[in-house]
Amino acid sequence: MHILVTGGAGFIGTHTLIELYKSGHTAVVVDNLSNSNPVALHRVEELINQSQVTGHRSQVTIPFYHTDIRDREGLEQVFEKHRFDACIHFAGLKAVGESVEKPWEYYDNNIGGTLTLVDVMRKHGCKNIIFSSSATVYGDPVEIPITENCPKGQCTNPYGWTKSMLEQVLMDIQKSDPEWRVVLLRYFNPVGAHPSGRIGENPNGIPNNLMPYITQVAVGKRKELGVFGNDYDTPDGTGVRDYIHVCDLANAHVCALQAITRKCGIGIYNIGTGHGYSVLDMVKAFINVNGVDVPYSIKPRRAGDIATCYCNPTKAKVELGWQSKYGIEDMVRDSWNWQKTNPNGYPLQAE
Ligand code: NAD
Ligand code: UFG
């Protein structure tokens, strides 16, 4: 299939491009580079071209458009040049704290951008979309492990609301026009990196998320990790999450593409491993597997955090034929491999 990948230069997008080409698909990337670097796409091409398993005989170049998804004319031009079978829609802003400071920018970018994208898609007869949603739509979940039947909850920040609202928007559009096929993938906590160490997570400024913070402490860029609370109702008192290797997550999109061609309507899937690990489990695994120190101290709870969040991923296994393969050791090893070989992330100049 020929796939439009919005936000394809980002963390999850780059890893997904590799899985797409591995499975014989081709892609076009639209990204405004607001949180990414074109070097990442060059490295994706390099990895695809080195791979023996892609089945692509000539050198692969992935068409890239430096375009904002809110730019209707820019998107129109992309759709006039290419005929897409489906869109995997990653483009969006994702920093929880920033979304509290800049709600208008989040609603404009994430909701405005998706509305424009979907309008241009339908105009050009492309009505298959896989949307990056999040476990955040469950709020403080009423059941653990979380199944897709768990009711959606109150989000604690504008970022979360954009995901929750966009799920509703896409479901309503599908209801009004059954030609649409919509897959909502609710990601749990993506970590890790491609095992080559050539692509990985490249946060701007101080990382919000646990794993990039750990790796930056380990590489000496930050003094110590603050563990946000050790008085939660969890086995060791620290927050429990369902960390998933980004390559497993990327592969879920390929499985969702196969399913989208078989099935009409709407599919909603949790994409996690089904295992919950605490903050201290992650820190200890990182230290043991990688043999590096990660100094930490206990800090107060972070506003908006919940104690425990992990899923039951059975529905994705049964209906998409997807399940995670990587464990916690792989996640901490690959995260470290990426950070230690790219201590400052991607270079600013093209390689
Ligand atoms: P990322 O920031 O690395 O990638 C997003 C990409 O979208 C970036 O390359 C950015 O430049 C691009 N982008 C943003 N706004 C755009 C716009 N208006 N037009 C064109 N491009 C735009 O983030 P990621 O971690 O790869 O996340 C991908 C998607 O998955 C996002 O929608 C995110 O909200 C969602 N998600 C991420 C996580 C996570 O923890 N990483 C968890 C759940 C859901
Ligand atoms: N944590 C720390 N110290 C840090 C960072 C995080 O102790 O410096 C703790 C948090 O308190 C939490 C756990 O590590 O207990 C995970 O925190 P993250 O910020 O890495 O992830 P969250 O579960 O808070 O949220 C992430 C994304 C959201 C997404 C959600 C579910 O940031 O966008 O996963 O997919 F919605």
The residue from 65, 138, 159, 269 that is catalytic is: 159
Q: pLDDT tens-digit profile of 57-98?
A: 679 999 999 999 999 999 999 999 999 999 999 999 999 999
Active site residue 159: yes
Ligand 1 pocket check for 134: Cβ under 6 Å = yes
Ligand 2 pocket check for 10: Cβ under 6 Å = no
CB 338 within 8 A of CB 345: no
Q: pLDDT tens-digit profile of 6-16?
A: 999 999 999 99
Asked if the peptide bond before residue 145 counts as cis, ω within 30 degrees of 0, the response is yes
| pLDDT at residue 52, rounded to an integer | 60
| pLDDT at residue 308, rounded to an integer | 97
Q: pLDDT tens-digit profile of 307-322?
A: 999 999 999 999 999 9
State the Cα–Cα distance between residues 160 and 167, nearest whole angstrom.
11
Concatenate the DSSP letters of all residues of 79-115 into one string: HHH---SEEEE--S---HHHHHH-HHHHIIIIIIHHH
Indicate if the pLDDT at residue 167 is higher than 90. Answer: yes
Nearest CA to ligand 1 atom 34: 94
Q: pLDDT tens-digit profile of 144-161?
A: 999 999 999 999 999 999
| pLDDT at residue 264, rounded to an integer | 74
Q: pLDDT tens-digit profile of 275-304?
A: 999 999 999 999 999 999 999 999 999 999
Distance from the alpha carbon of residue 260 to the mean position of ligand 2, in angstroms = 30
Distance from the alpha carbon of residue 297 to the mean position of ligand 1, in angstroms = 30
Which residue is it, tokens 């797409």? 20
Closest ligand relative to 130 C-alpha: 1
Average per-residue pLDDT for the chain: 96
Burial environment of residue 317 by CB neighbours within 10 A (0 to 12, 13 to 18, 19 or more)? middle
* Ligand 1 atom closest to 12 (CA): 26
| pLDDT at residue 212, rounded to an integer | 98
Q: Give 298's strand partners.
A: 227
Tell me, rounded to whole angstroms, the distance of Cα 1 from its chain centroid. 21
CB 338 within 8 A of CB 199: yes
Which of 176, 190, 79 minimizes the C-alpha distance to 133? Answer: 190
| pLDDT at residue 1, rounded to an integer | 97
CB 91 within 8 A of CB 30: yes
Backbone angles phi, psi at 32, to 5 degrees: -90, 5
Ligand 1 pocket check for 32: Cβ under 6 Å = yes
SS3 121: helix
| pLDDT at residue 25, rounded to an integer | 97
Distance from the alpha carbon of residue 186 to the mean position of ligand 1, in angstroms = 14
* Ligand 1 atom closest to 33 (CA): 11
- pLDDT range class, residue 263, cuts 50, 70, 90: confident
Ligand 2 pocket check for 241: Cβ under 6 Å = yes
User: Can you give the three-state secondary structure of 235-284, one letter per residue?
Assistant: CCCCCEECEEEHHHHHHHHHHHHHHHHHCCEEEEEEECCCCCEEHHHHHH
State the Cα–Cα distance between residues 347 and 121, nearest whole angstrom.
34
Ligand 1 pocket check for 190: Cβ under 6 Å = yes
Ligand 2 pocket check for 147: Cβ under 6 Å = no
Lowest mean pLDDT among 2-16, 113-127, 230-244, 262-276: 262-276
Q: Is the pTM of this model over 0.95?
A: yes
- pLDDT range class, residue 204, cuts 50, 70, 90: confident
Q: pLDDT tens-digit profile of 17-60?
A: 999 999 999 999 999 999 999 999 999 999 999 976 555 567 99
Nearest CA to ligand 2 atom 35: 188
